Amino acid sequence: AAMRYTEARLARFAEVLLREIRLGTVDWVDNYDDRLKEPSLLPARLPHVLLNGAAGIAVGMATDVPPHNVREIAAACVRLIEEPATSLETLCELVPGPDFPTDAEIITPAEELRALYRKGAGSVRMRARYEVEQGEIVITALPYQVSGDRVLEQIHQQMQAKKLPLVEDLRDESDHTQPIRLVIVPRSRRIDHEQLMLHLFATTDLERSYRVNMNVIGLNGRPQVKDLRTLLLEWLSYREQTVRRRLQYRLEQVLERLHILEGLLIAYLNLDEVIAIIRENDEPKPVLMSRFGLSDRQADAILDMRLRHLARLEEVKIRGEQTELDKERQDLERTLGSARRLKTLIRKEIESDAQTYGDARRSPIVQRAAAEALDTASITPAEPVTVVLSARGWVRAAKGHEIDPSTLSYRTGDAFRSACRGRSNQQAVFLDSTGRSYCVAAHGLPSARGQGEPLSGRLNPPDGATFEAVLMGEESAQYLLATDAGFGFIVGLADLQTKNRA
């Protein structure tokens, strides 16, 4: 693709990936059209595959690596450098779980997170964070990649379908100072906020599960699902290669510069003779090489000198640079020749980068009660209602218990038949002339402001049967049912409740 499509302003953290790219750390290969060279790999100073995470689908395989905390991953790397036999359990103490770029909570149990890192696969569950302010629920953090608009839409859909009568209103108060601030207004202060949120966690994206499948291409070029310890050890092996190549590249530069300085110093010590050779010969280079035993590169460096560099002070600078480079050469050779010194250097660089780019964990790992969608009765407010049944089987529900059913208006030819008092979250039990019982949720009945609706539209009684009575109350309540012939029996209300429509 053209540069205008791929160029971007890099974040400061990009230095971790690119700082050493031109220091001989990685191989360069032709790009897609063979016009440019590009690195085959990036010399990451930290295990970026775990820090940034990755997700993708290839042919027959996929990968889902969650992001992690810089300081935690760095601490695990340092521990493996110091103690390569460190167990996975010990590493899990340093890396308790993923760390997403959100303040939402990770509620996956610790033992499941350890199993995830042991197998290289599993799932992580995140839950939004909320506070209660003056009776209103304020959501302050959402799970990773969850949209606030989407959450509000999901809640609003439940409200429209009359499946969430506990909520009266929704507001999005997010701004640049508070990127996430979603306000849920309960219908009453008596509503249990925790119970309401557990329902919303179960029915909306306020709680989400993320698949983890740490399938990566290793140093052997083969894709494989790797556990946390294997991933870190393999990256440390790669990091040792890049650091060794960087040091070797720098050592070659130092040796090359020392070689040039040695030739320049010879020229200064024999300055008059060098000037004479240059003035008297059309091709002074081979003469210089023969007279002073110079190499081709040394002779070129002498001939490329400017006149202003022939001052006496320049000789002092050369000797000073020689001394510094010789010390650096010795240090590089000692480091390259000692596995212990090389590991110490890698450890110090990891600790330095973690201090520079690391921060505190954003996604706390906590234990929470499991989310559970409430049934209709549980989320319906327990408001007093009076259910009225007419002689022709029309039903309606009025708020409160003070209503007199006989004073209501009825359709022409219809009249009051039966009424009962209960709560809006209870079931209304209707009895027909054949002795059958039927249940309808009280909160779903039409308002008493009108004349109601026929029960036959909701229920399927036998042909010719009529509705005779309606009952409501606690499930433990008992009723005496009797016939015109004087026979009767006592029955519990719970025994009359049924899910059948006929």
Percent of the chain with pLDDT over 90: 71
Using 50 as the pLDDT threshold, list the residues of the chain that sit under it. Answer: 501-502
Residue 462's CB is within 10 A of a number of other CB atoms, namely: 10
pLDDT value of residue 82: 96
Q: Which residue(s) pair with 125 in the sheet? A: 209
Helices (H) and strands (E) counted in the chain, each on its own, are: 16, 22
**How far apart, in whole angstroms, are the C-alpha atoms of residue 115 and residue 107?**
15
Residue 72's CB is within 10 A of a number of other CB atoms, namely: 22
Beta strands in 309-393 (DSSP E): 384-390
Does 3-124+211-231 match 382-496 in CATH topology? no
- Residue 5 among the catalytic residues: yes
143-148 long-range contacts, CB within 8 A, separation 24+: 143/100, 143/102, 143/104, 143/205, 143/206, 143/207, 143/208, 144/100, 144/101, 144/102, 144/104, 144/208, 144/210, 146/205, 146/206, 146/208, 147/205, 148/172, 148/174, 148/180, 148/182
**How far apart, in whole angstroms, are the C-alpha atoms of residue 405 and residue 416?**
7
Which candidate, 60, 103, 1, 149, places its Cα nearest to that of 361?
103
Instruction: Identify the CATH assignment for 129-205 out of 3.40.190.10, 1.20.120.530, 3.30.1360.40, 1.10.10.60.
Output: 3.30.1360.40
The sign of the CA dihedral 244, 250, 251, 256 is positive
Q: Is 462 helix (H, G, I), strand (E, B) or coil?
A: coil
DSSP code for 394: E
**How far apart, in whole angstroms, are the C-alpha atoms of residue 329 and residue 334?**
9
How is residue 192 written in tokens? 């249990």
Q: Is 206 helix (H, G, I), strand (E, B) or coil?
A: coil
pLDDT value of residue 190: 81
Q: 253: Cβ–Cβ under 8 A, 6 or more apart, which residues?
A: none
pLDDT value of residue 398: 92
pLDDT value of residue 502: 45
CATH architecture of 3-124+211-231: Alpha-Beta Complex (3.90)
Whether 268 and 313 have beta carbons less than 8 Å apart is answered as: no
3-state SS of 298-315? Answer: HHHHHHCCCHHHHCHHHH
Whether 429 and 486 have beta carbons less than 8 Å apart is answered as: no
**How far apart, in whole angstroms, are the C-alpha atoms of residue 78 and residue 214?**
21
Longest Cα–Cα distance in the chain: 145
3-state SS of 62-97? Answer: EEEECCCCHHHHHHHHHHHHHCCCCCHHHHHHHCCC
CATH topology of domain 382-496: Neuraminidase (2.120.10)
Q: Which sequence spans correspond to the domains of the chain?
A: 3-124+211-231, 129-205, 382-496
The b-or-e profile of 129-164 (16+ CB within 10 A means b, else e) is bbeeeeebbbbbbbbbebebeebbeebeebeeeebb
- Give backbone dihedrals phi and psi of 309, rounded to 5 degrees, phi first: -90, 5
**How far apart, in whole angstroms, are the C-alpha atoms of residue 205 and residue 465?**
47
Which candidate, 77, 91, 23, places its Cα nearest to that of 49?
77
**What's the distance, CA 371 to chain centroid?**
19
